[in-house]
Amino acid sequence: MTAQLNPRGDVAVLVPAAGAGVRLGPGAPKALRPLAGEPLLVHAVRRIAAAPSVHTIVVAAPAADVASVRSMLAPVAPVTVVPGGAERQASVAAALAAVPAGPEIVLVHDAARALTPPELVESVAEAVRSGHDAVIPVLAVVDTIKEVDAGERVLGTVDRSALRAVQTPQGFRRSVLAAAHAAAGDPLTDDAGLVEKQGVAVVCVPGSEHALKITRPFDLALAEHLLAAGA
C-alpha cells in the first residue's frame, strides 16, 4: 500500500541515493542493492514516509536509473525523483532544487541509512521547528582514537570526549540550506559542513544505532540481522 504524505506537514526530505557504493564491493548502485529482498532505497523511503511531519520526499537517483526508481517507489510513497550528480553534494543540490513551495524545514537523509526510524526524522525536524537553524543527529565515539602519520605510526591519542559520529537526517531551516548550497565550493561530505562554513550554528541531537550507514559488506550483514530482529 502506498503511504500518504501529510499535505499539512512542514518538512521536505531530500534523499541522496546516487552513490555507487564502491566500499560495498562490485554491483548495482548501492541504494538499489537488496536488503532482505528489497532495495535499500525502498527501506529508507518507507521509514521517511512514516514520519507524520513529512510533506515532500525528493530522491536523487543514479542518472541512468531515474525511470526505474520512479516505478520502484510508486507503491511505497509519492516521491519526486531527480537525477543525482557525481558527488553527494551535487545530488543534494539537485534534490533541493526540486522541493515545491511550502515546506520550510528541509532534512537531508542518506538512502544508505536504510533502517533509520521515523522517530529520528521527527526529532530532528522538531529541533529545527523549535528554532535551531541546523540540527544533526550524533552518537558518542566508542573507540579510542589515535592520530597517526603517513607511515601509520601513532602521533598521539585524541580526546574523544569532544568528538561525535554524525548521522543523517540532518535538518535545516530551508533558507539556511539553500544559502549554504548556493555558496558551496569544493564538495564536502555532509550538508552541516556547508552550513558551518556560512557561520551558522549547528546543534546536535541524539542519533540512533539503527541509523547506521550501510557502507561495507559487514554493515549490510548487520542490517539484515537488525531487520530480522524487527528493526
Ligand X SMILES: C[C@](O)(CO)[C@H](O)COP(=O)(O)O
45 is a site residue for ligand CTP (CB under 6 A): no
CB of 213 to ligand X, least distance (A): 5
Q: Which is nearer to ligand X, 5 or 114 (CB)?
A: 114
> Residue count at the site for ligand X (CB under 6 A)?
8
32 is a site residue for ligand CTP (CB under 6 A): no
Cα–Cα distance for residue pair 231/217, rounded to 1 Å: 18
Residue of the chain from 15, 168, 171, 210 that contacts ligand X (CB under 6 A): 168
80 is a site residue for ligand CTP (CB under 6 A): no
Residue of the chain from 30, 47, 88, 173 that contacts ligand X (CB under 6 A): 88
Residue of the chain from 44, 48, 91, 110 that contacts ligand X (CB under 6 A): 110
88 is a site residue for ligand CTP (CB under 6 A): yes
Do 57 and 85 touch, CB atoms closer than 8 A? no
Q: Which is nearer to ligand CTP, 44 or 151 (CB)?
A: 44
Q: For the CA atoms of the chain, what is the radius of gyration?
A: 17
84 is a site residue for ligand CTP (CB under 6 A): yes
124 binds, among ligand X, ligand CTP, none (CB under 5 to 8 A by kind): none
111 is a site residue for ligand CTP (CB under 6 A): yes
Q: Which is nearer to ligand X, 88 or 132 (CB)?
A: 88
Q: Which is nearer to ligand X, 46 or 164 (CB)?
A: 164
CB of 8 to ligand X, least distance (A): 29
166 binds, among ligand CTP, ligand X, none (CB under 5 to 8 A by kind): ligand X
Residue with cell 514516509: 49
Residue with cell 511531519: 53
Give the 3-state DSSP-derived string for the chain, with helices as H, strands as E and coil as C. CCCCCCCCCCEEEEEECCCCCHHHCCCCCHHHCEECCEEHHHHHHHHHHCCCCEEEEEEEECHHHHHHHHHHHCCCCCCEEEECCCCHHHHHHHHHCCCCCCCCEEEECCCCCCCCCHHHHHHHHHHHHCCCCEEEEEEECCCCEEEECCCCCEEEEECHHHCEEECCCEEEEHHHHHHHHHCCCCCCCCHHHHHHHCCCCCEEEECCHHHCCCCCHHHHHHHHHHHHCCC
Binding site for ligand X (CB under 6 A): 88, 110, 166-168, 189-190, 213
Residues that bind ligand CTP in the complex, under the rule CB under 6 A: 16-23, 30-31, 60, 84-88, 91, 110-112, 213, 215
